[in-house]
Amino acid sequence: MNILFVVSEAVPLVKSGGLGEYAGSLPKTLASLGVDVRVMLPAHEEIAGGYRCKFREAVAGTLKMGGELQHWRLLEADVQGIHYYLLENAHYFGRRGLYGYDDETERYVFYCLAAALAIRELAFQPDIIHCHDWQTALLPALLERDAQVGNYAHIPSILTIHNMHYQGKAEKAQFRRWLGLRPGEEKGLFLPLQENQAGSDKEWVSCLELGLTTASRVTTVSPSYADEIAEEPLGAGLSHIVRQRWGGVRGICNGIDTVSYDPTGDPAVPYPYASWRGKRLNKAALQRRLGLREDAGAPLFAIVSRLVWQKGLDLVISLLEQLVARGIQLAVIGAGEAYYESVLHSAATQYPGSLSVHTTFEDSLARQFYAGADFLLMPSLYEPCGISQRIALQYRTIPIVRLIGGLKDTIVPFDPLTGQGSGFAFEEYHPEELLAAVDRALQTYHDRNRWDALHTSIAALDLSWQSSASAYLSTYLETVISSHTS
């Protein structure tokens, strides 16, 4: 089976967050199951020269974007056993940063248009085109529009939603201009505009909505999140479309690359280890590096996350005084919204030796956080799946999470009576609920027998992509069969 991933980022080439981890690691496991998986992404400026020099031109072309002629090239190379394509255009992707520009929607509309043209020219014939999030959600609509053109004939598409809240919106008039459509053409073509909005060029079109309505199949990154986006507010205004989809939306939890994330051989870890007892030297090294009080007995909590409202940082900030009073040390790494960066930096000056904040994300340092910390805090307001809790478990760091989305599906609250579980959890989004979970975690931390039992329990977990990749393969087969019978 031939699968083409079309994404906005993928490790090892370039990564902003969990999507990059997903798009770099799932294809490897699918390949081990006999699938020919190829991955397409923009030729971002951040892609290191050591990788970029491996790529050679496969095809090239031009397209009109809003009346302006844009040149594009598709480059290809094998990297770590996977075939990658880079779609190159200096105007839209010859800049620093993957996201965050004023013309964000325009950039990724161009990417989808150019990808659609490039796919026609490839010798590789995919059985399924697998798209991810709003950045490539326009592609299923383009495939449907051009279903009888060249290599497009009857190629089904799958859209995986990694975060429903980011949708790639623009005014209808802008979409017309980008796609070269005359007024009214979009309605009979592929833009599913709501009838009660008709007649105004101020109507908003959402790339994610287009993908939801036109993809052959829709998946998301955990079963609980699939249920949550069928209702508001987590449906982000699109829950009615989720509910209307025939066959529903399938949730498949993310795994991690257990070869890359391996504390016994991770080059970023100062002192490789195989069990939680081996973490002690790494804890001391992390405390020294971050300027925290060097104390083996102090419970060290880590936050490895984008610093945005979704991640529950308001709860943590409101509890800082009480956490420090309990003897907790907190280490934070991640970049994000200026407000959270500023508040956390200010708090770090208030609690020297107990709070360290690093607002430039460094992968090697993040791995040292996982290796040195005792606990990982993830009190998310919402969390489609989450990858940090899985990495933490791989490094024998205990997650403290809110039972929402994928956190609910991947973390089992520890039961001291049975000695079973994989972390600590709370349900209501409230500071006192989080604090109660922290106190339960501290009770276990200070009880050697319970602490040993918890670590014995997590050591038995399968954190790899294996079962999830099998679920994706089943979804691919079902989608292909369905497309041939419809």
User: In this model, does residue 327 exceed pLDDT 80?
Assistant: yes
Lowest mean pLDDT among 142-156, 285-299, 447-461: 142-156
CA distances from 332 to 30, 155, 340, 370, 468 (A): 34, 44, 11, 11, 30
Question: Higher pLDDT residue, 181 or 29?
Answer: 29
Edge-to-edge strand order for the sheet containing 398-402?
A: 355-358, 329-333, 300-304, 375-378, 398-402, 424-426
Tokens in use for 420?
Answer: 């079973």
pLDDT score of 247:
75
Round to whole Å and give the CA distance between 5 and 350. 46
- Give the whole-angstrom CA distance, residue 380 versus residue 405: 9
Minimal CA–CA distance to 115: which of 91, 95, 143, 92?
143
Task: Note whether 398 and 392 are within 8 A (CB).
Answer: yes
Task: Report d(CA 131, CA 22) in Å as an integer.
Answer: 12
Per-residue model confidence (pLDDT) at position 153? 60
pLDDT at 187: 59
Calculate mean pLDDT across residues 219-239: 96
Q: How do 2-6 and 300-304 pair as beta strands?
A: unpaired
DSSP letter at 380 equals: -
Q: Is the pLDDT of residue 201 over 60?
A: no
- Residue 451 makes CB contacts below 8 A (sequence gap 6+) with 444, 445
Segments of the chain assigned to CATH 3.40.50.2000: 2-255+466-485, 276-459
Other C-beta atoms closer than 10 Å to the C-beta of 208 total 25
**Total Cβ atoms within 10 A of residue 486:** 8
Angle, vertex CA 133, rays to CA 46 and CA 140, nearest 5: 115
Class of domain 276-459: alpha beta
Q: Which of 46, 116, 54, 60 is nearest to 80 (CA)?
A: 54
pLDDT at residue 326 is higher than 80: yes
Return left, alpha or beta for 17; rule: phi > 0 is left, psi -120 to 50 is alpha, else beta: beta
Mean of the per-residue pLDDT values of the chain: 93
Residue count of the chain, please give it.
Answer: 486
What number is the average pLDDT over the span 287-301?
Answer: 98
pLDDT tens digits, 244-261: 987 789 999 999 999 999
**Residue 297 binned pLDDT confidence (cut-offs 50, 70, 90):** very high
Q: What is the mean pLDDT of residues 282-304?
A: 98
Q: Which residue has the higher pLDDT, 431 or 186?
A: 431
**Which residues lie closer than 8 Å to 194 by C-beta, 6 or more apart?**
none
State the chain's maximal CA–CA distance in angstroms.
71
What pLDDT is recorded for position 483? 82
CATH number (3.90.1150.110, 3.40.50.2000, 3.30.450.20, 3.30.230.10) of 2-255+466-485 reads 3.40.50.2000
pLDDT band at 144 (very low <50, low <70, confident <90, very high): confident
CB 256 within 8 A of CB 391: yes
Q: Quick one: average pLDDT of 354-361? A: 95
**CB-based contacts of 34: which residues, under 8 Å, 6+ apart?**
1
pLDDT in tens, 157-176: 999 999 999 999 998 889 88
Given a cut of 60, whether residue 148 has pLDDT beyond it is no
List the Cα angle 415/419/421 in 5-degree steps.
Answer: 60
Distance CA 88, CA 75 (A): 7
Helix axes 138-145, 207-214, angle to 10 degrees: 50
- Please state, in angstroms and rounded to a whole number, the distance separating the CA atoms of residues 404 and 379: 9
Band (151; pLDDT cuts 50, 70, 90): low
Q: Does 234 have pLDDT greater than 50?
A: yes
pLDDT for residue 245: 86
pLDDT in tens, 407-465: 999 999 999 999 999 999 999 999 999 999 999 999 999 999 999 999 999 999 999 99
- For residues 353-375, give the mean pLDDT: 96
Q: Is 202 annotated as a binding residue?
A: no
Give the pLDDT confidence score for residue 428 in this predicted structure. Answer: 98
Please state whether beta strands 68-79 and 56-65 pair in parallel, antiparallel, or not at all (unpaired).
Answer: antiparallel
Please, which residues bridge with residue 82 across strands? 79
Output the pLDDT for position 361.
86
Give the model's pLDDT for residue 434.
99
Contacts of residue 462, defined as CB under 8 A and 6 or more positions apart, other chains included, come to none
Q: Which of 3, 100, 82, 4 is nearest to 44 (CA)?
A: 100
